[in-house]
A and B are shown apart, each in its own frame.
Chain A
Amino acid sequence: MRQQYARRAQVLTFVMGLIALAIVVQMTRIQNSAEAAVFRQQASNYAYELRTFYPDRGEIYDRNGHLLAGNKSVYELGVDLNTVRDPHAIAFALSSELGENYDRIMDTIINPPDGLSYIVVADYVESSQALKLQELKKALQEQAPEGTLGGLTGLQFKSHPQRSYPEYSLGSNIIGFVNREGKGYFGVEEKYDTLLAGNPVQVLVPTDPNKAFEIPRVPNGTTLVLTINRDLQSAAEDILDRSLIEYGAQGGTIVIMDPRNGELLAMAVTPRMDLNEFWNYGSIYDNASDFNPAISMPYEPGSVIKILTMAAALDSGTVVPETTYLDTGSILVGGATIQNWDQEPWGVQDMTGCLQHSLNVCMATLSTQMGAGSFYSYMDNFGLGQLTGVDLAGEAPGRLKIPGDADWYPVDLGTNSFGQGMTATPMQVMMAASSIANHGRVVTPHALYAMMRDGRQYNVPAQFAGTPISQQTADILSGMLAVSLESEGSLALVPGYRVAGKTGTAQIPVNGFYDSTQTNASFIGWGPIDDPRFMIYVWLERPSSSIWGSETAAPVFAEMAQKTVILMDIPPDYIRQQLVAK
């Protein structure tokens, strides 16, 4: 009996072993079959996914650390169509909280496009609004009967960054904006778009959540520190806005630059836009050049160019400050008669008198005495007709016709000497005039003070674009300009500070003819002239209270200069001289 059981057990063991062996053989066969290889290939296709990590866009600060452009979280609100329970509740909540159209949301949820399981119903929702909706969803879920889902089930929230401009329209022309696709337009946002945006990193991430994967290090975009002084920018915009009203001007520009190194301290223009609502761009501006006229809208600057003509004449040795000439009120250049602004003769004048009385005839005399070759060579060295290289997007070069150009005529040698028949942007004129304020050296204007990346700061050094005139010429001319302002009791004078400058009143061509009632009023000035710390350019378009730059742009310069010395802590001349004497 016992032997019989043993035999049965052996048979059973053998059969079970055979079955086990068959299973193992079958497993091995299946795992090494051609079909298995196909399945393994299919599985490997889904084992990893290529995920792109986008860095946060770099921030933009002013020179004193005030945030001008940052990032904030906004929310995309979507509906998971597989889990949604109550479309009415979702549509009602979104319409009441976000002001969205109830019918549109209902229609979107009830009639989604074929094949979609998730549909976006709202985007760029402020975090405060999204938080309220999240709390409402949670409350409805808690109030729902046991075992049922809340009314907002299926409503999903996905946060993503959006550019934010805490100063709204302040310095909008300098900063520019970023659209919803993350592309920068205008100003610094466009010029340094690549730096600010950073480099996205692509990583293969295992789809198995239990598998550890390498977390990519995605450095944020480069943070930029601008040379702009926020408080000075605010003051410039306030003064400009008030000036437009006071003088009835249609538009205006005030630019403040440090002539020693080209740092732009403020650049106020009109109109400006709230950068947080960049979609209003089309309704505010007619042309791209309107966004920042200071660099992208060339115009006939008029008499402010006379300082360059005089600089060229002095530097070339054509005249000295004491050189006199007899002003008869007109001069014939290239077959055309050029007259003074008042069409009157001014008699014997020296070169300071030419500047003080802004005599067109004097300037045309100088340019013709120099000759076209020498005159245009100086203008070219000053950078007229060329881009300044300022690091703001959208710069226009202006136009300076030279002999040999199809549209250049001999009369242009005369008219160009006092800033008519040519175009330049305020930035170009400032860059050229910086040579006079800066002892002969032209500085390249720039808005970037420093870049910060990975905790390191890289300062941007000053760049110089040549020395078109000698230091002696520059210093002599600065003195002449200061004397000319003081002699005429200019409205541009700044109490306590000696400044140099020049007005400009340029008639605007209308239908091919200059209209004497419509002018561009300008003023360029700098100070203190013994150690220039600021250079200010004022441009008022079509002022109606007076057509003259001396009565409109000059007092605006004075007001801006007084504000500038306060905000930049520049003591009056006598205090500085006392300090130097000690």
Chain B
Amino acid sequence: MNIPNVNHYIHAYKIAPWRVQRQWIGNALLAVVALAMVSTLYLDVTSQAAIAGREIQDLTASIIVSQQLSGDLQTHLASLTSASVMQQRALELGFRPMESEEAEYLVVPGYVVLEPDILSSAPLPQLSALTFPPEYNQSLLDWMDNKITSSSSRGTQ
């Protein structure tokens, strides 16, 4: 094998004009692909954030509707069990008010007189964190802008 000839071919390959062009084209394509990937990622994240935002709005509306419905049902139930309605139902069922002399009192060992009902309800769920981290409402451009702004402000200090 003739070694100097091989070096000659390699040198010729390296300085071939079409190869330089291909390098330029490759670099350009690489930049385009990178840009496309970043854009795709940006679009994906943005669309997901938008969908999440919409879902939050829908869920918030659902919570409000559920609370209203709960209040409506509670009030309706109270109307159905109001004193006048219950008295009327009792009379229709054949009951009558008891007289004091009809009461019989029994001693029940260990019985404790009931205190008024405690109406304590479960604590309300915490609907939101106290503060949102900026990642939740920042776009990529906002983030870059913030970074540039903060770095430039650090530079001027």
A205-217 near B? 1/0 per residue, CB < 8 Å? 0100111111111
Q: Which residues of B contact A215 (CB under 8 A)?
A: 56, 60, 127-128
Q: In the bound complex, how far is the Cα of B121 from the Cα of A457, in angstroms?
A: 9
Interface check B19, CB cutoff 8 A: no
Chain A residues with CB under 8 Å of B107's CB are 579, 582
Q: Please, what's the 1-or-0 string for A94-124, where 1 marks a CB less than 8 Å from any CB in chain B?
A: 0000000000000000000000000000000
Q: Which residue of B lies closest to A217 (CB)?
A: B127
A473-496 with Cβ < 8 A to chain B: 494-496
Whether the Cβ atoms of B53 and A63 lie closer than 8 Å is no
Residues of A within 8 A of B74 (CB): 67, 70
Q: Does A141 contact B (CB under 8 A)?
A: no
Task: Say how far B120's CB is from chain A's closest CB, in angstroms.
Answer: 5
Contacting pair B119 A225 (CB below 8 A):
yes
Q: Is A70 touching B71 in the complex (CB atoms < 8 A)?
A: yes
With a cutoff of 8 Å between Cβ atoms, the chain A residues found around residue B121 in the complex are 452, 455
Known: A170-B84, A212-B132, A566-B100. A571 touches B105 (CB 8 A): yes
Query: Contacting B87 at CB < 8 Å: which of A66, A220, A223, A234?
Result: A234
Cβ of B20: which chain A residues have Cβ within 8 Å of it? Answer: none
Contact across chains for B54 and A210 when beta carbons are under 8 A apart: yes
Contact B116 A225 (CB under 8 A): yes
Q: How large is the interface on A (under 10, 10 to 19, 20 to 34, 35 or more residues)?
A: 35 or more
Q: Of A63, A166, A233, A571, which is within 8 A of B79 by CB? A: A166
Residue from B54, B78, B103 within 8 A of A566 (CB atoms): B103
Least CB distance, B24 to chain A, in whole angstroms: 12
**Which residues does chain B contribute within 8 Å of A70, judged by CB atoms?**
71, 74-75, 78
Q: Which of A195-237 contact B (CB under 8 A)?
A: 206, 209-217, 219-220, 223, 225, 230-231, 233-234
In the assembled complex, which residues on chain A have CB atoms less than 8 Å from the CB atom of B72? Answer: 72-73, 127
Taking a contact as CB atoms under 8 Å apart, the answer to whether B100 and A234 are in contact is: no
Q: In the bound complex, do residue B105 and residue A167 qualify as a contact, i.e. CB atoms below 8 Å apart?
A: no
Question: What is the CA–CA distance of A209 and B53 in the complex, to the nearest angstrom?
Answer: 7
Q: Given A214-B131, A449-B116, A456-B120, are A496 and B101 also a contact pair (CB < 8 Å)?
A: yes
A 138-172 binary contact with B (CB < 8 Å = 1; else 0): 00000000000000000000010100101110100
Question: Considering the chains assembled together, what is the distance between the CA atoms of A456 and B79 in angstroms?
Answer: 26
Q: Provide the A169-190 mask, 1 if CB < 8 A to any CB of B, else 0.
A: 0100000000000000000000
Tell me if B110 is interfacial: C-beta within 8 Å of chain A: no
Residues of A within 8 A of B52 (CB): 212
A575 touching B105 in the complex, CB below 8 Å, given contacts A234-B83, A452-B121: yes
Output the least CB separation between B78 and chain A (Å).
Answer: 4
Which of these, A61, A73, A579, A582, contacts B119 with CB under 8 Å?
A61
A18 to B82, CA, bound (A): 84
Which residue from chain B places its CB closest to the CB of A229 in the assembled complex?
Answer: B116
- CB of B117 within 8 A of CB of A166, answer no
> What is the distance, in angstroms, from B141's C-beta to the closest C-beta of chain A?
13
Distance in angstroms from B100 CB to nearest chain A CB is 5
CB atoms of B100 and A495 under 8 A apart: yes
Known: A66-B78, A161-B68. A219 touches B124 (CB 8 A): yes
- What B residues does A211 contact at CB under 8 A? 53, 137
Given contacts A234-B84, A455-B123, A571-B105, contact A216 B128 (CB under 8 A): yes
Does B136 count as interface, using CB distance less than 8 angstroms? yes
- A193 contacts B by Cβ under 8 Å: no
Give per-residue flags for B130-157: 1 if the beta carbon is below 8 A from chain A beta carbons, else 0: 0110001100000000000000000000
Cβ of A562 < 8 Å from any Cβ of B? yes
Which positions 73-92 of chain B face chain A at CB distance < 8 Å? 74-79, 81-84, 87
A565 to B136, CA, bound (A): 63
Residue numbers in B under 8 Å from A194 (CB-CB): none
The residue in chain A whose Cβ has the minimal distance to the Cβ of B101 is: A495
Q: Output the least CB separation between B157 and chain A (Å).
A: 23
Assess whether B75 is in contact with A166, with CB atoms less than 8 Å apart.
Answer: yes
Whether a CB of chain B sits under 8 angstroms from the CB of A64 is yes
Nearest chain B CB to A511's CB is how many angstroms away? 42
The answer to whether A230 touches B100, judged by C-beta atoms less than 8 angstroms apart, is no
Nearest B residue (CB) for A208: B53
B101 in contact with A161 (CB, 8 Å): no
With a CB–CB cut-off of 8 A, which chain B residues contact A234?
A: 83-84, 87
Q: Does A405 contact B (CB under 8 A)?
A: no
Whether A72 lies near B100 (C-beta < 8 A) is no
Nearest chain-B residue to A579 (Cβ)? B107
A212-B49, A212-B137 known; A170+B83 contact, CB < 8 A: yes
Out of A66, A67, A170, A452, which one reaches B120, CB within 8 Å? A452
A71 at the interface (CB under 8 A from B): yes
Indicate if the CB atoms of B132 and A214 lie closer than 8 Å: yes
B16 at the interface (CB under 8 A from A): no
Is A315 positioned at the interface, with any CB of B under 8 Å from its CB? Answer: no
Q: Which of A72, A454, A457, A566 contacts B71 (CB 8 A)?
A: A72
Contacts of B127 in A (CB 8 A): 215, 217
- Interfacial chain A residues near B132, Cβ < 8 Å: 212-214
Contact A167 to B124, CB < 8 A, known contacts A65-B119, A71-B71: no
**Which residues of A have CB within 8 Å of B87?**
234
Report Cα–Cα, A478/B44, bound state, in Å.
84
A225 proximity list for chain B (CB < 8 A)? 116, 119
Min C-beta distance of A69 to chain B, whole Å: 9
Tell me whether A210 and B101 are in contact in the complex, defined as CB-CB below 8 angstroms, given that A67-B75, A215-B60, A452-B119 are known contacts: no
Residues of B within 8 Å of A56, CB to CB, are 67, 71
Contacts of A61 in B (CB 8 A): 119
| Chain B residues whose CB sits within 8 angstroms of the CB of A212 once the complex forms | 49, 52-53, 56, 132, 136-137
Is the C-beta of B40 less than 8 angstroms from some C-beta in chain A? no
Q: Is the CB of B120 within 8 A of A161?
A: no
Pick the residue among B84, B98, B113, B120 that contacts A457 (CB under 8 A): B120
Task: Verify A210–B128 contact, CB threshold 8 A.
Answer: no
Write out the residue numbers on chain B whose beta carbons fall within 8 Å of the beta carbon of A71: 71, 75
Nearest Cβ in chain A — how far from B110, in angstroms? 14
Task: Give A35-69 as 1s and 0s: 1 = Cβ < 8 Å from B's Cβ atoms.
Answer: 00000000000000000000010000101111100
For the complex, what is the distance from the CA of A61 to the CA of B120, rounded to whole Å? 12
Name the B residues within 8 Å of A65 (CB-CB). Answer: 116-117, 119
Check B126–A210 contact: CB distance below 8 A.
no
CB-CB nearest 8 A-B residue pairs: A166-B78, A455-B123, A67-B78, A65-B117, A234-B83, A210-B50, A166-B79, A70-B75
A–B Cβ pairs within 8 angstroms, 5 of them: A63-B116, A67-B74, A73-B71, A170-B82, A495-B101
Residues on A facing B (Cβ under 8 Å): 56, 61, 63-67, 70-73, 127, 159, 161, 164, 166-168, 170, 206, 209-217, 219-220, 223, 225, 230-231, 233-234, 449, 452, 454-457, 494-496, 562-563, 565-566, 569, 571-572, 575, 579, 582
